[in-house]
Homo-oligomer: A and B are copies of this chain.
Amino acid sequence: MPKIKLDLKVVKNLVYPYVPMLVGVNVGGKPNIITIGLIGWLCYDVLSISVGHQQYSKAGLLENGTFSINQPTAALVKELDYCGIVSGREADKASLFETFYGDLATAPMIRECPLNIECRVIQTLIRKVHTVFLGEVAAVHADESALTEGVPTIEKVEPVFYAPDPTRDRRSYGYWGLGERLGHAFEIGKEIERA
């Protein structure tokens, strides 16, 4: 099958899919919540968030050096969308949720989200559109309802995915939920090994 080389100007459409998160940042001593699609899972204990140069939360990130990542469930998809539409300059988005603080004291977390990760900024990467904040995991909090024998469980978390949706309109984006289980890891590949 021939390949088409895509224009790098649309590269931002090539993350398949984003797993957007609700991110908590203190700004001027008050909690703000932002929706971030570009979350980097660098390794087991380093995550990153990508923040536009003009975004309201950037000053708080530079001031405190802390943030939280809060996993939205499918039930929170409207709040997820809202926190990506409205700026903290215009609205008190944290008031939509019950927020709490943990070990880092300045990384506000969302009680309604089943998983909450506190991060300490260890590095920044300044790019054309975004500053990328790399955060080392400091603590993780979970709802018991999201766990099975202490392990977070995807079917209980009900994650939300975000991607372009050009089937509707060339510039549309949409949200999707989790689908069917396709198979067991470290097992289904053994059929090829044996073949």
Which A residues fall within an 8 A CB radius of B?
A: 1-6, 8, 10-19, 38-46, 48, 50, 71, 74, 77-86, 96, 100, 102, 111, 115-117, 123, 125, 127-130, 132, 134, 137, 139-145, 147-155, 157, 159-168, 170, 172-193
**In this complex, what residue of B is CB-closest to A35?**
B189
Given A85-B193, A184-B165 in contact, is the A145-B1 Cβ separation under 8 Å? yes
What residues on B are CB-neighbors of A74 within 8 Å? 182
Give the shortest distance, in Å, between A138 (CB) and chain B (any CB).
9
A interface secondary structure, majority: mixed
**In this complex, what residue of B is CB-closest to A12?**
B44
Is A39 a contact partner of B41 (Cβ separation < 8 A)? Answer: yes
Is A142 a contact partner of B4 (Cβ separation < 8 A)? Answer: yes
In the complex, the 7 A-B pairs of residues with the closest C-beta atoms, listed nearest first:
A81-B189, A40-B40, A82-B189, A173-B185, A179-B179, A177-B179, A151-B166
What residues on B are CB-neighbors of A134 within 8 Å? 125
Is A45 a contact partner of B172 (Cβ separation < 8 A)? Answer: no
Is B43 a contact partner of A6 (Cβ separation < 8 A)? Answer: no
Give the shortest distance, in Å, between A55 (CB) and chain B (any CB).
13
What residues on B are CB-neighbors of A187 within 8 Å? 81
**Contacts A14-B115, A17-B19, A74-B182 known; 18 new A-B pairs at CB < 8 A:** A1-B144, A4-B142, A5-B139, A6-B142, A8-B139, A16-B154, A17-B159, A40-B42, A44-B129, A77-B182, A78-B189, A149-B166, A154-B164, A154-B174, A165-B181, A176-B181, A177-B180, A178-B179
CB<8 Å pairs between A and B, sample of 30 = A4-B142, A6-B152, A14-B117, A40-B41, A40-B48, A41-B50, A42-B48, A42-B132, A45-B127, A78-B189, A81-B187, A81-B188, A82-B189, A85-B190, A148-B166, A149-B170, A151-B170, A153-B166, A154-B161, A154-B163, A154-B164, A154-B176, A160-B182, A165-B184, A172-B184, A173-B184, A173-B186, A174-B182, A175-B185, A176-B181
